[in-house]
Structure 1
Amino acid sequence: MSRVKRGVTAHAKHKKVYKDAKGFRGRRKNTIRAAKAATDKAKQYAFIGRKLKKRTFRALWIQRLNAAVRPFGMTYSVFINGLAKSGVVVDRKVLSDLAIHEPAAFQAIAEKAKAALAA
């Protein structure tokens, strides 16, 4: 009877882990136990990071808008309230982009929000 050679499945699994651990330092890249633990943790950080990215960018847009509306004598919260009252439906990302790249268009929106507050 011929001998059964094993380890094909295990080798394939290990190869997948080593591929994910490429670029890690020390034993974490070439020892299966360390590499598995490191890649598992890296995947957890990546998952959390994808959620945090959304919060971080929204906070950045809000900070930019707050800075952009200050010259018009408003704060961010007053500006957003004015936009709601005037019926302008533009999200913070687009408003922030307008404030940076199209100051004239942003000024028109800010004036519209200010006028809605005065009325």
Structure 2
Amino acid sequence: MTRVKRGYVARKRRKNILTLTSGFQGTHSKLFRTANQQGMRALACSHRDRGKRKRNLRRLWITRVNAAAKDNGISYNKLIKNLYKKKIILNRKMLAQIAIFDKFCFSTIIQNISTK
């Protein structure tokens, strides 16, 4: 039988892990075992925080729209309800951008949905 030299697949796998963790501090970027643990942890945290970022941004948009709506004398709840009633398709992100950068347009929207 011919001799089989081992190590290509394992070396490639280890090298991939070490390149993933190349920016980490200390042995977390040098030694395979700790790098593997930290790499898995980093991937898990990034997966979790992508969902968290979406939640936080939605909360921020709602807070901004609520503050701008209160300045115009309407509550956030009534604003959203009237938008749906009038079939105006503006999501919270767009409303927050309008409230920050174009206050006149935002007040016009509120006047349009407040009239019966």
TM-score, normalised relative to structure 2: 0.91
- Structure 1 residue runs of 5 or longer lacking an equivalent are none
Letter in 2 for 1:7: G
| 1:5-57 Cα deviation digits (max 9, x unpaired) | 32111111111001110111111111111001100011111111111121111
Corresponding position of 1:75: 75
Residue 45 (structure 1) aligns with: 45
**Where do 1:84-99 residues align within 5 Å?**
84-99=84-99
Deviating 4+ runs (over 6 angstroms): none
In structure 1, the partner of 2:66 is 66
Deviation at 1:2, TM superposition (A): 6.8
Distance 1:19 1:113 in 2: 55
CA RMSD of aligned residues (A): 1.6
The alpha-carbon deviation at position 67 of structure 1 amounts to: 0.7
Secondary structure of 2:64's counterpart equals helix
* Number of residue pairs the alignment of both structures matches: 116
Name the CA distance, whole Å, in 1 between partners of 2:12 and 2:2. 23
Q: Give the TM-score of the pair, scaled to structure 1.
A: 0.88
What's the offset of the Cα at 1:93? Answer: 0.7
